[in-house]
Amino acid sequence: MIRFVMIDIKLDNFNLEKYTDELMEKVKIELNSETLSFYQTEESKRSCFLILDKKQYFIDFIFIATHENFQLKVDIQAKEKEKADKELHDLKIKIKDLIVEDWKQCVWLTDHQSEEFAEDLYKNVHFVENSLRRVINTVLFHHLGGDWWRFMPIHLTNKYSTRISGYQDRAPSFKNVHANLLSIDTDDLVSILEFKTYQMKDQSIFSGTNPFIPDSLQQAEVLKRKQDLGKFNHIMSDIINNKKSIESHQRALTNLLKEQMEIDIDIWEKFFSPWFSCTLREFSGKWKHFSTDRNHVAHNKFIDIKLYQKFKKSMEDLLKIITEAEEKFEEYLKEESTQFLEYMKQSEIEDSYQRQREEKQSIAEEAGIEILDTDQIISLFQEHITATFGDISDEIYYRTDIEITYYEPPLTAPEKIFEIQNNILKRSIHVDIEPDIDESDGCTSRVNFLVYSNGHFKESFEISYVNGEAEFNEDQGNYMPKTEDELNISSLEDIESFINRLLEEEMPEISEDDLASFVCEECREYTVNLSEGNDYGLGICIQCGHKNEVGECRRCETPLDQQEDAFCDSCTEWFKEQ
């Protein structure tokens, strides 16, 4: 059942019978209907049925006139219920599109088809979410024991603590069940996979001297630790005396403490990477899209047939990845003993590099400039690159004829970071990068973007960052800026404009329904245009531009999906009825 209402007609002298006759005749022609018949006509109501692809649909038009406004209520119902009924979807959209300009407002009241799409998709949502929860629980319980939850981020454990009692009160039968993950939001599940725990280094500002370091080096190390410990004591003293000062000290204190820490456990690399067929970056990207799709479904938004098919495919692909990981881990449990794996420690960051970064940071703060290391420069670039290609992806996300792939670049080597594949035209646009990161003082880091269309180079763009540089001023006795830090990312807007232009010129949106079932005489591809509603021209191959012969109906001159003239289905049926 589909029901929508049009409010306040813009036309004068509205006649329901004439209006619906003209409307449904257009619908019949544009949807290639086999039969159209009005079987009930009243002063304020008209009813008809339409046959599309041998399926019967009933449409009621109810005209309501009051002193406040005019309304036209449209009810559409299929004789046979079919969940993914493409003809029903096309019918409701076609009627709406043909009359919407005649009225001031269209209000969608009921759409059982959209509701059925959502109901079916929500089952997929449930399977995907609970599959990942099950994998996380199984893997971490095996490696970390039943109290693995205590290793997790505090914001997640706090969320659990505030929610779980309410959930348990509603379902008292499960009060004694470990249900931590059931209280965690969908978006937060992937943060468990991304989580890393840290521990204090063996040698830090809080530890004693190292007897294995020669005395000649020990003195320098001890001096450096005393300086860092003095800075720490100063910051903490200021915070204890004035709690409001913690905000101004937050960055310096975090950097100071971070240098004393090292990664203890990388949850993904240590526990999940062996079982998943994709990288964490790929999985996080897929999960982000799933979370967006999930919210659309869960929050009762309209779902048309294209969106239903796109959501269905993406959820099934994600479920396949998780299911395969679960099966691999279960096989591992059968083959391997259940003893806990020992925690692996990462190598300590080289002491010389640590001292150099601390010294640079101190100089930069004194000179009032930024001197970033390699990771900070990469992170700065990544933030803007990801935002730009995210905007491009969002603009064309609705298109079902293309597939979009983006990988956040590590910016350590040349690689492909972005690709658009057209499933119909077999065309592609992709972007390669050539990073050149230099953390040296006063030096310029660059990322060069190379844009290709169908494998052919088209254009290059460049963004850059100039690292700050300081020099010691003998007269003033302090460090002064020699080179100001500067970020130039204006080319990212040019990249976005250029790719959008390539899409418009080389990948215009086209439906498979617009293409003939016979091949082009020239390139032998199934890309001959049959639609008169686009700019290609009837019979033109959108792949190579060749003009192909297209048959037409000998009676009504409608284009046919063949190269010879004949009678269309509607005319054939008409002859039979004569």
Interval 241-250: pLDDT, tens: 777 777 788 8
Do 380 and 454 lie in one domain? The reply is yes
Flag whether pLDDT at 349 surpasses 90.
no
Q: What does the alpha-carbon distance between residue 297 and residue 199 come to, in Å, rounded to a whole number?
A: 41
- The structure tokens 């963004």 sit at 463
Q: Fill in the amino acid letter for 323.
A: T
Exposed, middle or buried, 74 (CB in 10 Å: 0-12/13-18/19+)?
buried
Q: Which residue intervals of 52-197 are DSSP H helices? A: 86-99, 112-144, 154-170, 186-194
Flag whether pLDDT at 18 surpasses 80.
yes
Burial profile 413-443: b = 16 or more Cβ within 10 angstroms, e = fewer: eeeebbbbbbebbebbbbbbbebebebebbe
Q: Which of 111, 142, 169 is the last residue of a domain?
A: 111
**Which stretch, 209-223, 348-362, 527-541, has highest mean pLDDT?**
527-541
For the chain, percent of residues with pLDDT exceeding 90: 25
445-452 contacts at long range (C-beta below 8 A, 24 or more positions apart): 445/377, 445/381, 447/381, 447/385, 447/411, 449/491, 449/495, 451/495, 451/498, 451/499, 451/502, 452/428
- Kindly state the average pLDDT of the residues 47-66: 89
CATH number of residue 64's parent domain: 3.30.310.80
Q: Which of 79, 111, 143 is the last residue of a domain?
A: 111
β-pair partners for 262: 199
Do 476 and 575 lie in one domain? The reply is no
Categorize the per-residue pLDDT at 174 as very low, low, confident or very high, splitting at 50, 70 and 90: very low
Looking at the domain assignment, is residue 356 inside a domain? no
pLDDT 10s digits, 268-291: 999 999 999 999 999 988 888 887
Which one, of 173, 427, 140, lies nearest residue 267 by Cα?
Answer: 140
What DSSP state is assigned to residue 203? Answer: S
Flag whether pLDDT at 185 surpasses 80.
no
Q: Fill in the amino acid letter for 41.
A: T
Q: What is the pLDDT of residue 237?
A: 82
DSSP string across 495-516:
HHHHHHHHHHHH-----GGGB-
Do 502 and 518 lie in one domain? The reply is no
Q: What is the pLDDT of residue 414?
A: 95
Q: What is the pLDDT of residue 339?
A: 46
pLDDT 10s digits, 387-406: 999 999 999 888 877 899 99
The count of structural domains within the chain is 5
Query: For residues 530 and 578, which has the higher predicted lDDT (pLDDT)?
Result: 530
- Cα torsion at 160, 164, 166, 169 (round to 10°)? 180
- Kindly state the average pLDDT of the residues 540-554: 87
Residue 405 phi, psi dihedral angles, 5° rounding: -130, 130
Q: What is the pLDDT of residue 374?
A: 92
Looking at the domain assignment, is residue 340 inside a domain? no
How many CA atoms lie less than 13 Å away from 174 in the CB half-sphere?
12
What DSSP state is assigned to residue 48? Answer: E
- Enter the tokens of residue 493: 């807007």
Do 459 and 484 lie in one domain? The reply is yes
Q: Are 180 and 150 in contact (CB under 8 A)?
A: no
How many CA atoms lie less than 13 Å away from 401 in the CB half-sphere?
16
Looking at the domain assignment, is residue 359 inside a domain? no
- Kindly state the average pLDDT of the residues 204-223: 63
Do 185 and 284 lie in one domain? The reply is yes
Do 160 and 269 lie in one domain? The reply is yes
Alpha carbon of residue 568 to chain centroid: 43
Q: Which of 456, 490, 506 is the last residue of a domain?
A: 506
Residues ≥6 apart with Cβ < 8 Å to 252: 231, 235, 365
Q: Are 496 and 384 in contact (CB under 8 A)?
A: no
Q: What does the alpha-carbon distance between residue 231 and residue 253 come to, in Å, rounded to a whole number?
A: 9
Which one, of 39, 12, 20, lies nearest residue 95 by Cα?
Answer: 20
Q: What does the alpha-carbon distance between residue 508 and residue 536 come to, in Å, rounded to a whole number?
A: 10
Looking at the domain assignment, is residue 219 inside a domain? yes
- Kindly state the average pLDDT of the residues 48-54: 89
Looking at the domain assignment, is residue 17 inside a domain? yes
Do 250 and 269 lie in one domain? The reply is no
Do 8 and 73 lie in one domain? The reply is yes
Do 419 and 502 lie in one domain? The reply is yes
Q: What is the pLDDT of residue 498?
A: 96
Flag whether pLDDT at 216 surpasses 90.
no
Do 411 and 445 lie in one domain? The reply is yes
Which one, of 101, 95, 114, lies nearest residue 57 by Cα?
Answer: 95
Looking at the domain assignment, is residue 357 inside a domain? no
Do 194 and 207 lie in one domain? The reply is no
Lowest mean pLDDT among 36-45, 113-122, 424-433: 113-122
The answer to pTM > 0.95 is no
Flag whether pLDDT at 384 surpasses 80.
yes
Flag whether pLDDT at 463 surpasses 90.
yes
Looking at the domain assignment, is residue 493 inside a domain? yes
Flag whether pLDDT at 213 surpasses 80.
no
Categorize the per-residue pLDDT at 385 as very low, low, confident or very high, splitting at 50, 70 and 90: very high
β-pair partners for 446: 436, 464
Residues ≥6 apart with Cβ < 8 Å to 273: 280
Q: What is the mean pLDDT of the chain?
A: 82
E-strand ranges in 308-412 read: 402-406
Categorize the per-residue pLDDT at 476 as very low, low, confident or very high, splitting at 50, 70 and 90: confident
Burial profile 10-36: b = 16 or more Cβ within 10 angstroms, e = fewer: eeeeeebeebbbebbeebbeebebbeb
pLDDT 10s digits, 116-164: 777 777 777 778 888 888 888 888 888 888 778 777 777 777 776 665 5
pLDDT 10s digits, 59-110: 999 988 877 788 888 888 888 877 677 888 888 888 888 988 888 888 877 7
Flag whether pLDDT at 35 surpasses 50.
yes
> 95: domain range?
2-111
Looking at the domain assignment, is residue 57 inside a domain? yes
Q: Which residue intervals of 7-111 are DSSP H helices? A: 16-30, 86-99
Q: What does the alpha-carbon distance between residue 306 and residue 510 come to, in Å, rounded to a whole number?
A: 13
Categorize the per-residue pLDDT at 344 as very low, low, confident or very high, splitting at 50, 70 and 90: very low
Do 486 and 567 lie in one domain? The reply is no
Flag whether pLDDT at 499 surpasses 60.
yes
